[in-house]
Structure 1
Amino acid sequence: MLAALRKDGQDEQAAQLAKLLERGEQAGRMQPSRVVLSRAALPGEAITPSVRPPVDKETGAALADITLPAMLHLAQAPVLNSTLHGSVEALIEEWRHLDRLRAMGIRPPLNCLLFGAPGTGKTKLAQLVSREIGLPLVTARLDGLISSYLGTTARNISALFSFANRYQCVLLLDEFDAIAKVRDDPHEVGEIKRVVNTLLQCLDQRSELGITIAITNHEQLLDSAIWRRFDIRVAVPKPDLGSRLDIVNRYVAPLDVSLAERRFLAWLTEGLTGSEIETLANAIKRAAAMSSNPEFSVLDALKVHALLSSNHRQYPRWEQLLSPIEALAATLAGDRELAFTQEDLARFFGKDQSTISRWIRKHREVT
């Protein structure tokens, strides 16, 4: 296919396709490194399997979950676009070599805020960072931290940070906006101010002692003073076309899906998060498992999923999926980023190239 594009003088489309294919082969990138953080770089004790997390004094509920490095190696790395991938690698390198930075008189930034839409892989990214630097991950549990008793939430936050400061670990504060809201909320009758003030004090103290990663889907809800406490603030975007192809390649396995179908899935899922693409891939695999037709159609399965999930009401490309087949073929033929040839379309729709050519010509005459 690449050769055909170059032969026809379509060098730009050929270059785009080559890039997508190369990215599709790199879904397993960012594998664990052998270079981990020096134990002397951070104060505190090592967490062993016998260490138990702190608990709420009233209820006995755990304030955190502890994941040791051996278990973090089982976590799947998120698929990142090339820009974010490079930024995360640079951050990991800094945190691996804290001793070098301090030897140069540099204060390393140890607080990182990850924000973006739900399902973009922020939690997986935090797990990846912890895994790469070889530290246990201490993940705060909101069901344990937040209490209806006056003053208990602030006390639990202090207990959580005291625990994290005692040990060498990465502290992960997921759904961070639940405890870091703007302090002028009129419905909080003073309790949120107490909680945020405690959180500010704890973040300041920990900034010299250990690594903290906070995650939020609603960065606009964060108190401005909390926002300023984070030296590193990373927006985790929805995946671009190349990243979506990586995600499709990862999650459609072991189903035998052609390259044209996988590229179409990457095109169709514009605006979706990685989590939503995984859900879509699982829906296709369920449809394939239940189908008695040996000529299983990914396109038909997608149309059923579109109607059941109402995706076509939110995303224009899903509306095109449900349009007449000739119109969809013409749309795909004209998409420069996708770079589908008539041979691709013939294989995708199960038709010959003359039929595809007639569909495209007919649609262009109408429009």
Structure 2
Amino acid sequence: MATADQVKALVRSHGEGDDTRFYSVALQVAAGAARVGHGRFAQELKSLVDSLRQQSATSSALGKLVAVAQPRGELAQLLSVSYPQLGLADLSLDLHVLQRLERVFLEQRQADRLRSHGFQPVRRLLLTGAPGTGKTMSAKVLAGELRLPLFVIRLDGLITKFMGETAAKLRLIFDALSETRGVYLFDEVDALAGERAHGNDVGEIRRVLNSFLQFLEQDSSESLLVAATNHPQLLDRAIFRRFDAVVDYPLPEPAVARRVIKSRLAGVELGRLNWVNIDQAAAGLSQGEITVAAELAAKDAILSDGGPVTSTALCEALRGRKVDHTR
């Protein structure tokens, strides 16, 4: 059952209006109850949390979403906008990463309270990790949970062979951060902030990077700036100091991989799965790759005889993703 700390956390999160933390602790209580044999209570509590989350998401989507016009003029070539409807429950990530994201939500929702004491909420995040581990998805969830538009910076339109043009376009983007609050995602930021000692056009790279660093330093908007990279080793060391938090996304542990598989196969019939074999087949794959493998196994079952997804089919699909990497 609930521990004293969990009860206090539930009361505190309710008082602060932090629904994300409240639901997270409630699910921890459910998991603890299941471990000590209170399966029925655990399931009822989990179902209640899921129902409340859905009601909250629907209400927020109808009444709280900020309407923002599509970027116009030159900005239309630099930004694409969307309005994600995802929540933290849609992420299957390492517990440490989830806790870091929950902290961002807490500080953003209590921003006025922090500012009244002379502190600023976390708003500049650098996400690092292998492809498919959930970095871009996290940016969508940040936007969805905070009911903000997600602006994705189009690096192909931003970076030109003329440094002056790139700097001018960067200024447009950072002006937009101040004018329209949202989540701004610089994906594959190493293309913009690579190590100054590398590359053929060293001088040009240095000037572009210096402009980016300067804009980061001067930015005082209320928008969230999220930068993501699959290759943190390529980033110039100075870039790390400009972010409030650097979050590393590891490859999923077996428990996370199982959640990914169960979530993706929730709508199809499952056979009696051998999770030990599945864990071994999934080891070393990202959440994105595991999702693709689960989808393949499900489609094979549907297109063959409509029977259940089996451990054999799932393991073959997972191992197939590893083979694809070696080609």
Asked if these proteins are the same fold (TM beyond 0.5), I'd say: yes
Tell me the residue number matched to 1:243. 256
SS of residue paired to 1:132 = helix
Tell me the residue number matched to 1:224. 237
Q: 1:180 to 1:263 in 2, by over 3 A?
A: same
Tell me the residue number matched to 1:98. 111
Unpaired stretches in structure 2, ≥5 consecutive residues: 1-31
Q: 1:64 to 1:259 in 2, by over 3 A?
A: farther
Tell me the residue number matched to 1:233. 246
SS of residue paired to 1:151 = helix
Offset of residue 259 of structure 1: 4.9
Matched, 1:134 2:134: no
Could you report, residue by residue, the CA deviation over 1:280-303 in whole angstroms, capped at 9, with x for unpaired residues? 111212321332495875415644
1:66 paired residue among 67, 74, 81: 81
Q: 1:270 to 1:196 in 2, by over 3 A?
A: same
Tell me the residue number matched to 1:55. 74
Alignment of 1:105-144 (within 5 A): 105-144=118-157
More helix as a share of residues: 2
**Contact kept? 1:65, 1:139, Cα under 8 Å:** yes
Offset of residue 64 of structure 1: 0.8
2:125 and 2:159 map into 1 onto residues whose CA distance is: 22
Tell me the residue number matched to 1:203. 216
Give the % identical residues: 30
1:171 and 1:283 map into 2 onto residues whose CA distance is: 33
Tell me the residue number matched to 2:7. none
Q: What amino acid does structure 2 have at the position aligned with 1:274? A: Q
Could you report, residue by residue, the CA deviation over 1:13-50 in whole angstroms, capped at 9, with x for unpaired residues? xx9x959x989x899799586799xxxxxxxxx96343
1:62 and 1:18 map into 2 onto residues whose CA distance is: 53
Could you report, residue by residue, the CA deviation over 1:235-261 in whole angstroms, capped at 9, with x for unpaired residues? 111111111110010112322113534
Q: 1:207 to 1:229 in 2, by over 3 A?
A: farther
**Contact kept? 1:182, 1:223, Cα under 8 Å:** yes
SS of residue paired to 1:66 = strand
2:156 and 2:325 map into 1 onto residues whose CA distance is: 36
**Contact kept? 1:54, 1:159, Cα under 8 Å:** no
Offset of residue 120 of structure 1: 0.2
Tell me the residue number matched to 1:180. 193
Q: What amino acid does structure 2 have at the position aligned with 1:52? A: P
SS of residue paired to 1:190 = helix
**Contact kept? 1:154, 1:198, Cα under 8 Å:** yes
**Contact kept? 1:117, 1:237, Cα under 8 Å:** yes
Q: 1:184 to 1:31 in 2, by over 3 A?
A: farther
Tell me the residue number matched to 1:281. 294
Q: What amino acid does structure 1 have at the position aligned with 2:242? A: R
Alignment of 1:3-18 (within 5 A): none
Q: 1:205 to 1:212 in 2, by over 3 A?
A: same
Alignment of 1:248-287 (within 5 A): 248-261=261-274, 264-287=277-300
TM-score, normalised to structure 2's length? 0.74
Q: 1:131 to 1:304 in 2, by over 3 A?
A: closer
The structure having more radius of gyration, on CA atoms, is: 1
Aligned residues: 282
TM-score, normalised to structure 1's length? 0.66
Could you report, residue by residue, the CA deviation over 1:265-293 in whole angstroms, capped at 9, with x for unpaired residues? 24421111100101111121232133249
Q: What amino acid does structure 2 have at the position aligned with 1:213? A: V
Unpaired stretches in structure 1, ≥5 consecutive residues: 1-14, 37-45, 315-367
SS of residue paired to 2:90 = coil
